[in-house]
Amino acid sequence: FPPGPPEPHYLHPIIDSDLAIQFYPLGFIPNRNETLVKDVVRQALYESLNYRTTAKMPGRGYKLQEREFLLSVAHSAGVGDLTWGMWTVVLEGMQGYVVAYPGYDYQFEIRKYRGWEIAGYVIGAGFVETRA
């Protein structure tokens, strides 16, 4: 991830996959509990490993809240299936973002690419945020 504050629309390709994460920072939260943030992302990652990688996520998506911190993702309507395997690799990318930009809540889109497409298409979206 680039140094400094997060870019407004950072696209992070996921190595060895046809996926990328588009991050949209929501703002800086002073004194955010970074240990809790890392624990929530790590817990979501461990939970995702309990499913077959090709299994489709439920229609309602996935949500995990611990105290004031919430992580949520949902399918994009009508554009393909978000699988637990895809969610696992996205969470691995999120771990790097959380470490690179402590204190920043964000929205994200999960983009899938076919061949050499420029923009890809969104198969899921969500947010990682602190709730007071």
Tens of pLDDT along 34-83? 999 999 999 999 999 999 999 999 988 999 999 999 999 998 876 778 99
8 A C-beta contact, residue 106 and residue 94: no
Contacts (Cβ under 8 Å, ≥6 apart) of 30: 103
Mean pLDDT, the chain, rounded, equals 91
* pTM, to two decimals: 0.91
Please choose, from the candidates 124, 92, 121, the residue with its C-alpha nearest in 3D space to the C-alpha of residue 107.
124
Tens of pLDDT along 24-36? 999 999 999 999 9
Q: What distance lies between CA 132 and its chain's CA centroid? A: 21
Say which amino acid occupies 114.
R
